[in-house]
Structures are given as C-alpha cells and as structure tokens.
C-alpha cells in the first residue's frame, strides 16, 4: 500500500507532528510505503496513492473523489462534512478542565476561545455543562481567529478587549483557554494588572505544547488532547476503507490523554481570608518539610479554628493539603526535570525516597516511575 499524509507539517505545533506520529505508527505496523505531501489538490493530479490522511479542504476532497482515493480527515474545521473523520474529543477536554478547576476549590470561572471553531465550541460545551452540573456559571470571552493573525489593529483591539474582560473578573477565578498560546497572552495581561497566578487566576490551557507550557514562569497546566491517537485511529480507519471500500460519515472521537498540572493551577482557592492565607503559605512552602503548626503560625490564628474552617472550605485537612501540594509538585517535576527520585524526595521535603515512593503510590495508585514513563511518552 502506498499512503500519503497531507498534514501541514510546517506548522510548529506538536498537534500536527503528533497526528503524523500516530499515522506513521500504524503505517509501520501495516508495512505501508508512506509519503508526506503538500495539502494541495495539484499533488493528486500526478501522484498515485492508495489512501490519504489529510486536513481536508474542499478542492482537495473533490480531487480525491475524482481520483477515487480513500480519504480520512483530521481537521475539525474542514468545510467538507461528507468525509470520514477522526478528531480529539474536545467536549471531554472541557470537562477535564472544569473538573480540575473545581478540584482546586474555585467557585468563579471564565472561558477563552475562538468563535466559529468547532473544537472550541465543543470544549466550551463540556466546560460549561460540567460547571452547570455543580451549580456554577462561566464568563466567556470569544473572538475571531483572523483578528490576531497578521493584523496589527485587530491585535491591539483583541488585547484591549481581553484586558477589559480580565479586569472585570472577581478573583479568585479559574480560566480555561482552548489554546496554550492564548494562555500566554492572558498571563501577560494578568502581570500588567498585578494579578497573581495561580492565586488570583488559575489557568488551564489546551494542547500541552511543551515549548509554550514549560516556560517562562509560571509554567502552564494544560490538557493533552491525545493527537497521536487521533493519527493512529485515522490510519486504522483508512486501512479499513482501503480493504472494504466502505466509508463512514460519522466522526470518530479519541479521548484526551488527561491533564498535565503545572504552576498555573498550583494552588487552592478559598473565599475565607484565613484559609486563603493558609493555602497560599502551603503553596509557597510545600517543598519544605512544613507541618500543620507551621501553617497555623504563619496565619497567626487558633489551630482548632483554622482546622475547622479549612476543612469546611476545602473539604480537606491542612495535613492533607500539604501532602496534596507535594504530590502535585512531584508530578510536575517528574515531567519537567531529570531529577532522580532521591533528588526529588529531597527537593520536596520528604524524609527519604522510600517515604516519597509510598506517599505517591497511596495518593495516585501508581508508582512514581510508572507515572513518569507514561507522561514522558506522551510529551
């Protein structure tokens, strides 16, 4: 079989390279001869292919039909609807983002995404429906993609309107943006307004792009939408089409890989002033070997009262929050650094590596080495 991938590989986002990697993984298993081709119908006029996975546009689709070439689409905003397609489940991604922010104790929420983008609108649906099921609503900021692409005047207007929207939010608030780069715009605006991340705004992105997420400070929590699996399933569907001659007009959706927690949500929110102070102290000091009394002393209040209020507003004890924060830091460091488990244990204030191992296994249901291998594989 001779198969081509028309995926616009020159784009820098790992979204595209991951889809290609998934396609190629199946191609290797199926022993296909493969080519990367431009996303242009002219290529199909002279090339001979048994099947193609592509970001399918109208003219490309027409030429593939004319040449009777089986075609699978991986572009959710494709103008062509009558084509076999595979996408990431953006609705589920929105649900994951909402659940993560709710789990941080947040009770006010916002959403930042593109207008007229099918994936973004599905992500918004999953996000708002999950919040609604818990009795919460979200402020939404949507804009046209064309506004920020090569248009200086449009860009200035976008930043002005985004700044106005952020300025109208009441901290602490959780924000989900459907693009990691849009999160970076948001973070810069927060800095200019002297809003602290994650204490005033906790931010969850989407895409888990390592170059964007890992630096600069704060690193960005993001949804991994599992685009490699999208590519693999697209190639698998193409294989079935080439063998049977049958196609499906119903899109197939792949589940997101999950969430990669980083500094932008590395806190727990509360409207109670003493509890908020305690949470901030824990977030800033969890990598030291702090105890409950250290938190009580930092907040300068009665231990029994603080413990009662803390449990009431967070659903956790102070000791549980210290442990949770350490585990979250550990998960981030295992992905972002090459520290050994012994070095990680020391960095995070554990007595020794055995103490860290047992604490992580009890909290996450898997060993630190299993977690690190799974996460690094999906970067």
Per domain, the residue ranges of the chain are 2-88+227-257, 90-225+260-265, 273-377
Average pLDDT value for residue range 252-262: 91
pLDDT tens digits along 142-190: 988 777 666 777 888 889 999 999 999 999 999 999 999 999 999 999 9
Beta bridge partners of 13: none
Look up the CATH number of domain 273-377.
1.10.10.60
- Is 176 in contact with 206 (CB distance < 8 Å)? yes
Beta bridge partners of 109: 138, 174
For residues 214 and 208, give the distance between their C-alpha atoms in angstroms, rounded to a whole number. Answer: 9
For residues 288 and 36, give the distance between their C-alpha atoms in angstroms, rounded to a whole number. Answer: 51
Place of tokens 């048994």: 50
Residues contacting residue 350 through CB under 8 Å, at least 6 positions apart? 326, 356, 359
Q: Is 336 helix (H, G, I), strand (E, B) or coil?
A: helix
Q: How many residues does the chain have?
A: 379
Q: Examine the pLDDT at 378 and tell me if it is beyond 60.
A: no
pLDDT tens digits along 329-361: 888 788 778 889 998 888 888 888 899 999 999
For residues 7 and 2, give the distance between their C-alpha atoms in angstroms, rounded to a whole number. Answer: 16
Q: Does the fold of domain 273-377 match that of domain 90-225+260-265?
A: no
For residues 13 and 177, give the distance between their C-alpha atoms in angstroms, rounded to a whole number. Answer: 16
Q: Is 51 helix (H, G, I), strand (E, B) or coil?
A: strand
Residue 335: the pLDDT is 76
Q: Is 141 helix (H, G, I), strand (E, B) or coil?
A: strand
**Percent of the chain residues topping a pLDDT of 70:** 96
Look up the CATH number of domain 90-225+260-265.
3.40.50.2300
- Is 72 in contact with 86 (CB distance < 8 Å)? yes
pLDDT tens digits along 112-152: 999 889 999 999 999 999 999 999 999 999 988 777 666 77
Alpha-carbon distance values, 59 to 43, 56, 146 (Å): 12, 8, 22
For residues 56 and 63, give the distance between their C-alpha atoms in angstroms, rounded to a whole number. Answer: 11
Tell whether domain 2-88+227-257 is in CATH 3.40.50.2300: yes
User: Comparing C-alpha atoms, which of 91, 96, 88 is closest to residue 223?
Assistant: 96
| pTM (2 d.p.) | 0.79
Is the backbone of residue 323 left (phi > 0), alpha (psi -120 to 50) or beta? alpha
- Is 309 in contact with 272 (CB distance < 8 Å)? yes
For residues 365 and 368, give the distance between their C-alpha atoms in angstroms, rounded to a whole number. Answer: 10
Tokens of 314: 């967070």
- Residue 159: count of CB within 10 angstroms of its CB: 15
């Amino acid at each position: 079989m001779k198969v081509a991938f028309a995926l616009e590989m020159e784009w820098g986002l790992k979204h595209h390279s991951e889809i290609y990697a998934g396609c190629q993984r199946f191609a290797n298993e199926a022993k296909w001869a493969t080519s990367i081709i431009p996303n242009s119908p002219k290529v199909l006029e002279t090339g001979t292919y048994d099947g193609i996975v592509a970001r399918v546009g109208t003219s490309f689709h027409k030429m593939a039909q004319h040449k009777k070439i089986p075609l699978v689409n991986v572009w959710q905003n494709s103008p062509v609807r009558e084509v076999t397609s595979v996408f990431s489940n953006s609705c589920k991604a929105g649900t994951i983002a909402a659940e993560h922010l709710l789990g941080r104790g947040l009770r006010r929420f916002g959403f930042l995404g593109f207008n007229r983008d099918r994936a973004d609108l599905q992500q918004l649906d999953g996000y708002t429906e999950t919040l609604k099921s818990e009795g919460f609503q979200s402020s939404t900021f949507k804009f046209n993609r064309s506004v920020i692409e090569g248009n200086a005047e449009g860009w200035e207007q976008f930043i002005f309107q985004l700044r106005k929207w952020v300025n109208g939010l009441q901290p602490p608030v959780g924000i989900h943006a459907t693009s990691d780069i849009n999160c970076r715009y948001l973070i810069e605006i927060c800095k200019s307004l002297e809003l602290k991340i994650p204490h005033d705004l906790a931010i969850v992105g989407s895409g888990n792009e390592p170059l964007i997420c890992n630096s600069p400070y704060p690193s960005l929590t993001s949804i991994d939408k599992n685009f490699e699996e999208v590519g693999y399933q697209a190639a698998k569907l193409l294989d079935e089409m080439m063998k049977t001659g049958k196609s499906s007009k119903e899109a197939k959706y792949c589940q997101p890989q999950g969430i990669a927690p980083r500094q932008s949500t590395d806190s727990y929110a509360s409207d109670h002033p003493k509890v908020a102070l305690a949470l901030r102290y824990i977030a800033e000091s969890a990598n030291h070997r702090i105890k409950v009394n250290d938190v009580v002393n930092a907040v300068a209040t009665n231990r029994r009262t603080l413990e009662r209020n803390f449990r009431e507003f967070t659903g956790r004890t102070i000791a549980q929050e210290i442990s949770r924060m350490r585990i979250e830091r550990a998960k981030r460091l295992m992905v972002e650094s090459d520290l050994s488990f012994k070095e990680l244990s020391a960095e995070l204030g554990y007595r020794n590596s055995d103490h860290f191992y047992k604490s992580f296994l009890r909290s996450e249901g898997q060993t630190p080495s299993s977690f690190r291998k799974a996460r690094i594989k999906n970067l």
